[in-house]
Amino acid sequence: MRLQVMAWGVALVLGGCSSAPRHRVLEPVPPDVAPRVAAAEATMTEVQQRLFKRLTAELERGGPAAAVTVCRDEAQPLTASVAHERSIEVGRTSHKLRNPKNAPRAWVAPFVSAAAGAKAADVKPVVVDLGDRVGVLKPIPTAPLCTSCHGAREALSPEVAQALKDGYPTDAAVGFAPGDLRGFFWAEVPR
């Protein structure tokens, strides 16, 4: 409910700015849009599952420092592959970026800013009317396992800290605790 309330506020603020796009939150989701939202949700879930499977395998093989290389080298191509397979644009973003390629799209940025620092349980998925497209946001909660790479910087192992320094010189995606909102999956589908 918290993000939905923030989303309405963001939509109202954006609607009052002449240079800002006018996107409105679709709540409830209209029946004619529901199948497109379901396709977007399935695509985000597929990315999440494939990435989790790959990260888990690498964690078991080489530990958290090895998992950093999976995110650095494989997450973007894996996401692009799922997007291509399903013909749906999809990605991940956060208010604390590790990879600059995950910067939020213009329509996503107000929601990311509004939810920064929230607990994931307080943030609900959002569906946004983008005109000829529909945007869908799905919160990414911080799981306990995530904190080995996304936890407090001073608590990271020396190997992980070095892997992050080497792979992401401008890394800001630390300081999360279990249950924190770490970011969002987003998808755009044609209306």
Q: What is the pLDDT of residues 144-178, one digit of tens each?
A: 989 999 999 999 999 999 999 999 999 999 999 99
Name residue 131's amino acid: G
Statement: residue 94 has pLDDT above 60: yes
| pLDDT tier, 78 (very low <50, low <70, confident <90, very high otherwise) | very high
The pTM score is 0.87
Mean pLDDT of the chain: 90
In the chain, where the domains are located = 2-15+31-190
> Can you give the C-alpha Rg of the chain in angstroms?
17
Average pLDDT over residues 130-140: 97
What whole-number percentage of the chain has pLDDT above 70? 88
* Own/partner pairs, 63-67, CB within 8 angstroms, 24+ separation: 63/159, 64/148, 64/149, 64/157, 64/159, 64/160, 65/157, 65/159, 65/160, 65/162, 65/163, 67/148, 67/149
Q: What is the pLDDT of residues 8-47, one digit of tens each?
A: 344 433 333 334 456 899 999 999 999 999 999 999 999 9
